[in-house]
Amino acid sequence: MNAGQQMTRRLASRAGQSICRSCRDSISRNTYATAAAAAVQTEDQLAQHIPPVAQASPSTSYAVNAGVVLSRPPQITRDLHPFEAAFFLYQRRLNERLALPFTRYFYFKKRTAADLEWKRKMKQRLTPARDIGRYQGYGDEAWNDEVLIGAKESDFEHQVGKLLEDVERSGLEDASEPTGAHKIEREPVDRPMPRVTEADEKNDTKSLNRALQRTLYLLVKNKEGQWQFPQDRLKDEHLHGAASRIITHAGGVNMNTWLVGHTPIGHYQLDYPEARTSGDLKEHGAKTFFLKARIMAGQVNLKENKLGLQDFKWLAKDELRKEVDGSYWRSIKNMLAER
């Protein structure tokens, strides 16, 4: 006799009367479900006390490496988008339009040296601000100050050239300048450095004086001929100490570098085709944990490097992708800055 039949008889005996068939079947079904749930719960509870079985041998392991993502940050601001350049030109022209109604005597007293210089320069350049092109704030055409698409006035290099030209002119070019002891000596004008360097033109990937608008990363060729970040195996040291050692052993002592933090910014796992024996352990692969670093001054020198490195390059993110292996790139791409 099962548990459901026993419960049915007990209920019938307590009530002193018989139970209809539908009620008896319902009681039996509920009892079976309850008993099954209790049995499953009991089995689950017992299973929780079973110790887990080790899936791998205790002698199986991975080699642990430390890697360094050494970067040079951008040195100059990025080039303006054409829309940004047009907007800034519009702002300067708007400022000039608002400033023109004020008389110059608000700024300069009549017949002073500053007033005479203002008159001379205005006569030559025909506008208060040379870099934004000619604009006449009075008359029927005062409203016509829009810049056409492709106009040279919106070009950054044109604006810089016009500003330098304005600084170099004294306003006396049309007049006969004095000679001898009374000749006017002009101060030299410092010109801005070009945004495109000689290293850019030669595509010198070993120079840090290139791609000044981008972040450059140090990529080295190891003794197996693979391009990767500088790395080496841990040797009874923590990651931060290993990263500091790797920088010196890879690039020499003539670099002023700074390790940004003690926490890895990412890792790369390499699985060997066949297990390798290292002492008493069988290594199935290597795991490299990368720390972030900056170079402040100096340059890489591989002549006395202790890691067997063959070559190096300073590359931006999109350039670096073309040099490294596909699986390596998928592991490191989120650690690198787009600009």
More confident residue, 46 or 6: 6
Q: Domain 60-76+196-335, what architecture? A: Alpha-Beta Complex (3.90)
Provide the residue count of the chain. 339
Percent of the chain surpassing pLDDT 90: 41
pLDDT in the model for residue 243: 96
Q: What is the pLDDT of residues 19-69, one digit of tens each?
A: 556 555 554 444 444 443 444 444 445 444 555 544 545 456 899 999 999
Phi, psi (degrees; rounded to nearest 5) at 229: -75, 155
pLDDT band at 209 (very low <50, low <70, confident <90, very high): very high
What's the predicted TM-score (pTM) here? 0.69
Tell me what pLDDT residue 234 has.
Answer: 92
Nearest to 291 by CA among 247, 235, 225, 237: 247
Quote the pLDDT of residue 46: 43
How many angstroms separate the CA atoms of 333 and 227, rounded?
Answer: 14
